[in-house]
Amino acid sequence: MFKEEILKILRKEKIPEELLQAPPNPEMGDYALPCFTLTKEYKKAPQEIAKYLEKKLRPSKNIEKITANGSYLNFFINKAAYNKAIIESKLTKKNSNKKVITLDFSQPNIMKPFSIAHLRSTMIGNALSKILSNEGYKVVKINHLGDWGTQFGKMMYAYEAWGKKTELMKDPMHYMTNLYVKFHKEAETNPSLEDRGREWFAKLEKGDKKARAYWELFSKLSLQYYNKTYKRLNITFDSWAGEAFYEPQLKPTIAFLQKKGLVKESEGALIVDLEQYGITPCIIKKSDGSTIYATRDIAAAIYRAKTYKFNKNLYVVDVRQSLHFQQVFKTLELAGFSWAKDCTHLPFGTMKFEDGVMSTRKGIIIFLEAVIDKAVESVEKIIEEKNPKLENKKKVAEQVGLGALIFWDLSHDRIRDITFSWDKVLDFSGETGPYVQYTHARAASILRKTKEIKAKPSYEKLATAQEKELIKQLSIYEQAIEKAADQYKPSILAKYLITLCQLFNDFYEHCPCLTEQDKTLASARLHLVKKTKAVLQHGLSLLGIQAPEEM
């Protein structure tokens, strides 16, 4: 609003609006116009141009004064109007822009536990769905389950050889994990088991009744387990169409690619040769006749384009799959789909572990459920020590424990690798989720202690360095959301919230709200607290984190 008023003034003089900038020193004004590039038009020195424009241009309603300072023309906005506009502005969701984004995230592999390694895709995807929805997009959240492939054949053989249904039903996920580990351990000394696994998967693809019954049982038990975790994380999906969903579409997809002249045979397998584009061949069908996940992803992309008519088709999948998506997207482009350019892989860094690489095959795994439980238990102990009379202790502990875990993940830049460490996850001090939640609770506490904000706020009195910096940070909240959406990086929003908390706590220490004798100033400060609380709550919600009123 304020910048637009200045630009309107400049347009009258036909001065390029892109010249307007923020000065390095606030004392030089809120905006500055360097006059160096205007010498040719005005035929004067920059200093003379600044003085000329100072006399010619007239301040508007929200622009207090325009002054020349050397070669710069400085604009000072009305602080009372500015502060009021920032503090009293409403947090609103942008109007729908009618654009559809399909967002593929989480993607656990059926029969495998929901491990801590799944946290990245799940939480990055969930946060992006909220951030993009806030920006006006219609987001279709897709959980492309890994519910098809050779691993099913391996599990079927293992279950046939060593499994017992009574044991399976007692604790399905741990039991299936143990069988999967046993299969790979046995295969180390008896490699022929790998062939048995492939044979069972081939049966499944051909519709064998026994194989299909096993697949349905393992899938059902896995989904029951996953849904408990998703419910706890407060995550929902619009589509659960996994790899198996596209099985009936695989033959038509392969036939379509063949008709386009893209497929050729190589050592018994069917491939799309991409070497001239600097990409290794995309395997469409393996030499044993079974399909591969590239085929299923191609079929899935075609289905999504027809079903959702997306403007963007996004995949939140770790960086190790970058080549796979290059192959898939290039194949779709060569097949003549104009929307192939709208398919984007959003890679994220892998989660590493201090004591080595996590592997389901080797049984080295950290269950996400166990991590959540441990985080919540740690918060419960802290509450008992510091605030034992807190109401709804269990609920708050769950919110803060989950907040710690989610914020820890999202505060890292999406594309960087991160190392899982119990100490880091359970460290609730410093730049963490609990720190942001605590700051929100502190703001809520201040507001609870005021009966009513009766006095009219004098926003022009918010003149301390702490107040100015806090208001300035609040003024760029929407820009932070836009930047996080444009770059598909929730970490931008997480870091914004940390800075906001630091500035608010500095304000809290230096600018008394409850004891301030000047009632109009106290009222202005309380409105500032209220606005900060609203932004913290809204920002946390976009990251998939709840904001307790008390901690």
pLDDT-derived band at 112, boundaries 50, 70, 90: confident
pLDDT-derived band at 429, boundaries 50, 70, 90: confident
The correct CATH number of 387-542 out of 1.10.730.10, 2.30.40.10, 1.10.357.10, 1.10.260.40 is 1.10.730.10
- Contact in structure between 142 and 245 (CB atoms under 8 Å): no
pLDDT-derived band at 61, boundaries 50, 70, 90: confident
| Mean pLDDT in residue range 98-111 | 95
Q: Is the pLDDT of residue 515 over 60?
A: yes
> What proportion of the chain, given as a percentage, has pLDDT over 90?
84
**For the chain, what are the domain ranges?**
2-77, 100-353, 387-542
Give the long-range contacts of residues 388-393, CB within 8 A, separation 24 or more: 390/550, 390/551, 391/550
pLDDT at 27: 80
The correct CATH number of 100-353 out of 3.40.50.800, 3.40.50.2300, 3.40.50.620, 3.40.1190.20 is 3.40.50.620
As a dihedral over the C-alpha atoms of residue 470, residue 474, residue 479, residue 485, rounded to 10 degrees, the angle is 110
Distance in angstroms (rounded) separating the CA atoms of residues 159 and 214: 9
| Mean pLDDT in residue range 449-460 | 86
Residue range 2-77, CATH number: 3.30.1360.70
| Mean pLDDT in residue range 440-467 | 91
pTM as predicted: 0.91
pLDDT at 18: 94
As a dihedral over the C-alpha atoms of residue 483, residue 489, residue 495, residue 500, rounded to 10 degrees, the angle is 40
pLDDT at 348: 96
pLDDT at 350: 87
Nearest to 376 by CA among 172, 108, 442, 384: 384
| Mean pLDDT in residue range 234-250 | 95
Distance in angstroms (rounded) separating the CA atoms of residues 206 and 449: 69
Q: Is the pLDDT of residue 363 over 60?
A: no
pLDDT at 357: 52
pLDDT-derived band at 241, boundaries 50, 70, 90: very high
The mean-pLDDT minimum among 16-30, 100-114, 380-394, 395-409 falls in 16-30
In this structure, the chain runs to a length of 551
> Integer distance in angstroms from the first to the last C-alpha of the chain?
37
